[in-house]
Amino acid sequence: MKIPFLKNTVTNYFSLFVRLVQGILVTRWLISHLGEAQYGLWVMLWSFFSYALLLDLGFGVAAQKVTATELYKRDIEKYNHTISSIFFSHVSMALLILPLTFVGVYYIRELFHLPADATIEYITFCRKALILSGLAATVVFPLGVFPEILVGLQKLYLRNYMIIISKILELAGVIAIFTFGQGLFKLLLFVMLVMGATQLAMLVAVWKSIPGFRIRFAFDREVFKGIFRFSSAVYIISIGRMIWERGMFLLISIFCGLAPVGIFQLGSRIPFLIQQISLPYVENISPISALLHSRNRTMHLARILMRAIRWVNFFAAGATVMVMIYAPRIILLLFNVESTEAAFICRLMVLFVYFLLVCRSIPEKFLTMAEEHRFLAKVQSFESVFFIVISIAGLLIKPHELIVVGAMIVTKLIGTAGFIVPHLIKRTKMKFRFFLLYSLFEPALLAMATGMVCYWQYYFLRGQINEFFLLALAGISGVLIYFPALYFMMFDHAEKVRARKIISKITGKLRRA
């Protein structure tokens, strides 16, 4: 199978760029038009929508894996029965969203930490928003299996084209909704409609990509048992990931209120954007791991993993250093908000996200697809329980969002450094010293050198020039350091030869012009 690695990665990054620009613009407009409290409500509604993914039971990843191992080529009928069983399991689980939504509506005061003097109108507003979000999640949730199939097909580029179109439509819709004076309800409804239409388009893409693909209106119990052994462990992993990704918002909301949720969201937005920047490259690892592991090419896969970690580290370390220096200025420029607390959270979270990107993201994807899902599920279970216990204990002593952040950092440090990385080294038979030097130390050293240059600029030029030009100068300096390093540090011999040929063609055309 020919893997369109470059095409997938390039379109991933283009999709990411569109989502970043759209996300920044929408965030600014949401804060401006909705206010801090309603923006916090918007964040919480999307957190609850993300919690609905817990009902996936790991079958989405199972669909990706059976597709990546090319079962559809060997036995199309078995493949159809497998995907159909997964789809109708999603339909069954989606029906649970509605009763859970109405439970949340009943406990709306506690869930959103509404003040005692909240008006009946505001409480009713929050309840209606939660009901609308639950109804939309019930409809959209079952369609989530089809993007996973496209990933398993190594056709991430098709998925990316559809996401790009949907984000442009969302942006246009947000502009229109706020222009005509509409509020949160119309905005939420529109975004959910676009999401559902996008996933239906992915169903059409899957149907055209796999000859003979059909959704059978039947539930195959034997097929279900076969995939459940894998998906149950993946489900536990998903729960653990969801607890820390969205549990932070929920805990802050319950113990601290909606306003601190908005502050935390502002501070963590940039670190999570850095995480998103690295994911377009990392996302290729899951289907590649499943395919090569099914062919028993573990050593080849190990080399791919080491190089992938090095690439992620190369870019993530540079972005981390820049954010550590310029966090207050970046928040002010992007979101038009000046907050010392948000800047501190941003710096703390960017270090945390960098650690996860380099030491956790790629090993976790490999272990999931290389039949180590049970081990990974045990680690995630330990982390989830530990995080909840120490977070609640800390919040009972002092209700503050930094308690939750600190609990998560301690938890992931123990789980990653103590279990995940050692198991990766053992499973792939990597040489630890070479892994430490090649994948971890060299890219970080370059980032530190870049950081020294940018900090010198910040120290001497802050207050002397416009904020935008100060950040632009830092960005240009980083590019001038990183692009030569990209050639000398990251490219192998064949890549250097191709790069020289491309440069020669470009310079030749310029001379002729």
**Could you state, in order of their start, the residue ranges of all structural domains in the chain?**
1-219, 232-513
pLDDT grade, residue 412 (50/70/90)? very high
> Cβ distance 141 to 75 under 8 Å?
no
Q: Cα(274)–Cα(336) distance, rounded to whole angstroms?
A: 19
Helix (H) or strand (E) holding 404: helix 401-415
Amino acid 420: pLDDT: 92
Residue 355 has pLDDT above 90, yes or no: yes
The DSSP symbol for 143 reads G
- Is the torsion defined by CA of 485, 486, 492, 496 positive or negative? negative
Amino acid 217: pLDDT: 72
Q: Is 58 left (phi over 0), alpha (psi -120 to 50) or beta?
A: left
- Which of the listed ranges 25-29, 292-296, 348-352, 484-488 does the model predict with the highest average pLDDT? 348-352
Residue 5 has pLDDT above 60, yes or no: yes
Residue 113 has pLDDT above 90, yes or no: no
Amino acid 165: pLDDT: 92
- Which of the listed ranges 47-56, 73-82, 107-116, 217-226 does the model predict with the highest average pLDDT? 73-82
Residue 499 has pLDDT above 80, yes or no: no
- Which of the listed ranges 4-8, 54-58, 286-290, 354-358 does the model predict with the highest average pLDDT? 354-358
Amino acid 36: pLDDT: 65
Amino acid 413: pLDDT: 93
Residue 422 has pLDDT above 80, yes or no: yes
Average pLDDT score over residue span 139-153? 84
Q: Cα(63)–Cα(149) distance, rounded to whole angstroms?
A: 6
Amino acid 421: pLDDT: 92
Average pLDDT score over residue span 140-152? 85
Amino acid 162: pLDDT: 92
Single-letter residue type at 207: W
pLDDT grade, residue 19 (50/70/90)? confident
235-256 pLDDT tens trace: 777 777 777 777 788 888 888 8
Amino acid 325: pLDDT: 87
- Which of the listed ranges 171-180, 193-202, 409-418 does the model predict with the highest average pLDDT? 409-418
Average pLDDT score over residue span 266-293? 79
Q: Cα(258)–Cα(500) distance, rounded to whole angstroms?
A: 54
Least confident window among 74-78, 209-213, 363-367, 504-508: 504-508
Residue 290 has pLDDT above 90, yes or no: no
